[in-house]
A and B are shown apart, each in its own frame.
Chain A
Amino acid sequence: MKVLVCISHVPDTTSKINFTNNNTEFDKNGVQFVINPYDEFGLTRAVWLKEKQGASVTVLNVGTAETEPTLRKALAIGADEAIRVDAEPTDAFFVAQQIAAVAKEGEYDLIIAGRESIDYNGGQVGGMVAALLKWPFINACVGMEIEGDKASFTREIDGGKEKLSAPLPFVIGGQKGLVEESDLRIPNMRGIMQARKKPLAVKEAVDAEAKTKVGDFAKPEPKGAVTMVDADNMEELVKLLHEKAKVI
Chain B
Amino acid sequence: MASDLFEAPDYYLVDELLTEEHKLVRQSTRDWVKKEVSPVIEEYAQKAEFPKHMIKGLADIGAFGPYIPEEYGGAGLDQISYGLMMQEIERGDSGIRSTCSVQSSLVMYPIYAYGNEAQRKKYLPKLASGEYVGCFGLTEPNYGSNPGGMITNYKEDGDHIILNGAKMWISNAPFADIAVVWAKNEEGRIHGVIVERGMEGFTTPETHNKWSLRASATGELVFEDVRVPKENILPNKSGLGAPLGCLDSARYGIAWGALGAAMDCYDTALRYAKERVQFDKPIAAYQLQQKKLAEMITEITKGQLLVWRLGQLKNEGRATTAQISMAKRNSVEIALKIAREARQVLGGMGITGDYSIMRHMMNLESVVTYEGTHDIHLLITGLDITGHSAFK
Contact = CB atoms under 8 A, between A and B. Distances in A.
A76 B75 CA distance: 12
A192 interface: yes
A189 B20 contact: no
Given A189-B63, A193-B70, 14 more contacts: A69-B20, A73-B24, A76-B28, A186-B28, A186-B31, A189-B25, A189-B75, A189-B81, A190-B70, A191-B62, A192-B21, A192-B25, A192-B28, A193-B75
Contact of B77 (A73, A186, A189): A189
B32 A192 contact: no
17 contacts: A69-B23, A73-B24, A186-B28, A186-B31, A186-B61, A187-B24, A188-B28, A188-B61, A189-B25, A189-B28, A189-B81, A191-B62, A192-B21, A192-B28, A192-B62, A193-B76, A193-B77
A45 to B, nearest CB: 19
Contacts of B43: none
B60 interface: yes
Interface string A52-76: 0000000000000000110011001
Q: Please tell me the size bucket of the interface on A.
A: 10 to 19
Contacts of A188: 28, 60-62, 75
Given A192-B75, A192-B77, A193-B76, A186 B32 contact: yes
Interface residues of B, number: 20
A196 interface: yes
Interface of A: 68-69, 72-73, 76, 186-193, 196
Contacts of A72: 20-21, 24
Contacts of B62: 188-192
9 nearest A-B residue pairs (beta carbon): A189-B62, A189-B75, A69-B20, A188-B62, A187-B28, A186-B31, A188-B61, A190-B75, A193-B75
Given A68-B20, A72-B24, A73-B24, A189 B66 contact: yes
Main secondary structure of the interface of A (DSSP, over half): helix
Interface in B66-113: 66, 70, 75-77, 81, 85
B67 to A, nearest CB: 9
A69 B27 CA distance: 12
A243 B63 CA distance: 61
Main secondary structure of the interface of B (DSSP, over half): helix
A76 B28 CA distance: 10
Nearest to A69: B20
B285 to A, nearest CB: 17
B35 interface: yes
A189 B21 contact: no
A68 B61 CA distance: 22
B373 to A, nearest CB: 31
B155 to A, nearest CB: 42
Nearest to A187: B28
Nearest to B64: A189
Contacts of A68: 20
A190 B77 CA distance: 9
A218 to B, nearest CB: 27
Nearest to B73: A190
A196 B78 CA distance: 13
Nearest to B61: A188
A72 to B, nearest CB: 6
A192 B70 contact: no
Interface string B44-67: 000000000000000011110010
Interface string B15-36: 0000011011100100110010
B171 to A, nearest CB: 22
